[in-house]
Amino acid sequence: MVTVRREKDSMGAIEVPADKLWGAQTQRSLEHFRISTEKMPVSLIHALALTKRAAAKVNQDLGLLAAEKASAIIQAADEVLAGKHADEFPLAIWQTGSGTQSNMNINEVLANRASEILGGVRGMERKVHPNDDVNKSQSSNDVFPTAMHVAALLALREHLIPQLSALTDTLRDKSHAFADIVKIGRTHLQDATPLTLGQEISGWVAMLEHNLRHIEHSLPHVAELALGGTSVGTGLNTHPEYARRVAEELATITAAPFVTAPNKFEALATCDALVQAHGALKGLATSLMKIANDVRWLASGPRCGIGEIAIPENEPGSSIMPGKVNPTQCEAVTMLCCQVMGNDVAINMGGASGNFELNVYRPMVIHNFLQTVRLLADGMESFNKHCASGIAPNRERITQLLNESLMLVTALNTHIGYDKAAEIAKKAHKEGLTLKASAVALGYLSDAEFDAWVRPELMVGSMTPGR
């Protein structure tokens, strides 16, 4: 039988497991929102702990919170940040849209733990109050969006951007290494004029470089913090210096460029910063999906596909076909990109659906945002390590397909005109001839002229990948 204690809130008394640090409001949420399995992300819980830590420090500095209480709250928050008390945060994503219940969850846990640090007990006789002390100068309406932004920015900075940069570097190296390999180009999934393999991959590199810039451009808005706006953005019940100083404190303890939001009404009423940042992440997913698809097409085969590149063989690909190996890293990337695109729709809907002074889709928005960051960061790391770094050209196959392409006839346009060049290509295709044999048979040019004018290495232009 579970031992319980009785706690009270404004709704009355409720039984709480005696061994838990949470209190009445967390318990009510547990009982009322038994929905699915998605819990508040650990990184968001840590962001809430950082927010409470910063608030306690600033409230102490402003003379609003006793030093011993502030010190105990800070110590309790540091324990959460160190990974302790992880099972004290059991609440579902699917709760109040303001995140109030998770704000009270962290308030109750820190209050009870701080009370123990001060020699007191958890429960109604605690020495630190969850609202009056831990939540001092705050509202769930400014705490939760602040924690969302802290968690989002740190996840982007510490996880996604490093993996994006690493993958970009790998592909840039491949582009330079393959700069002299002339291959056939393809448009509409049909043969086109030549380019180098390095040029082709340089396009992927440029895509990722643009994506990095788009993500970085979204960060200043994400760095704006709602804390200090309290319930509707007016800053009711806060010290005039509180908003600025608490943002500075968060910037100090995270080494991130957080600032107080210049307009707290926007900060509380919208999720625009995360909507826009996630739009950049969706753009990255779009690019990654194109790159992964190109890689698996170019590596298709091994004997009956394009087969111009080889990729690492990581695991058996079939339970029935012996020796089959599949482009599994590409498949994983394309699947997670689909999920990111779905997350973007949900985030857009959540961002668009807030009313008046408060957006009430916040738990869903941050859940999807952080899932996207994790998927993209982990996906890029895996794709880089197990696929992109091992891309190698199949020079024999590249040369074979290049020489068989009818689109090399494009080099003759400026010598004999489009119509005659088209006639050469069509005759060659219909009769199974080489372009040279077709051109000579039609009497449009000699062997020597064909060899002088149709040179694939001279058809790739001067557009070389930049270093």
User: Residue ranges of the domains in the chain?
Assistant: 4-136, 142-394, 405-458
Which pLDDT score, from 0 to 100, does residue 269 have? 98
Element (H, E) at 14: strand 12-17
CA 410 to mean position of chain CA atoms? 42
CATH superfamily of 405-458: Fumarase/aspartase (C-terminal domain) (1.10.40.30)
What does the pLDDT look like over 330-384, one tens digit per residue? 999 999 999 999 999 999 999 999 899 999 999 999 999 999 999 999 999 999 9
Give me the amino acid identity at 13: A
Cα separation, 306 vs 396, in Å, equals: 12
Cα separation, 326 vs 316, in Å, equals: 8
316 vs 237 pLDDT, higher one: 237
Is 1.10.275.10 the CATH number for 4-136? Answer: yes
Position 61 pLDDT exceeds 50: yes
325 is in an annotated binding site: yes
Active site residues: 188, 318
3-state secondary structure of 302: coil
Domains 142-394 and 405-458 share a fold: no
Position 298 pLDDT exceeds 60: yes
Which pLDDT score, from 0 to 100, does residue 466 have? 54
413 is in an annotated binding site: no
Threshold 0.85, pTM exceeds: yes
104 vs 2 pLDDT, higher one: 104
100 is in an annotated binding site: yes
Which pLDDT score, from 0 to 100, does residue 316 have? 87
Contact present, 96 and 83 (Cβ < 8 Å): no
Counting other chains too, the contacts that 23-26 makes at CB distance below 8 Å and 24 or more residues apart are: 23/104, 23/108, 23/111, 23/112, 23/123, 23/130, 24/108, 25/101, 25/104, 25/105, 25/108, 26/90, 26/91, 26/101, 26/104, 26/105, 26/108, 26/109
Out of 3.40.1010.10, 1.20.120.450, 3.90.550.10, 1.20.200.10, which CATH number does the structure's domain 142-394 have? Answer: 1.20.200.10
140 is in an annotated binding site: yes
130 is in an annotated binding site: yes
The token pair that represents 10 in the structure block: 């404004």
Which pLDDT score, from 0 to 100, does residue 463 have? 64
Give the ranges where 82-196 is alpha helix by DSSP (H): 100-117, 140-155, 161-177
Positions of E strands within 152-235 = 182-187, 190-196, 224-225
141 is in an annotated binding site: yes
Which pLDDT score, from 0 to 100, does residue 467 have? 45
Position 81 pLDDT exceeds 60: yes
Which pLDDT score, from 0 to 100, does residue 462 have? 73
Beta bridge mates, 8: 13
Which pLDDT score, from 0 to 100, does residue 465 have? 60
CA 124 to mean position of chain CA atoms? 42
Share the mean pLDDT of the chain.
97
Cα separation, 98 vs 31, in Å, equals: 18
What does the pLDDT look like over 258-279, one tens digit per residue? 999 999 999 999 999 999 999 9
51 is in an annotated binding site: no
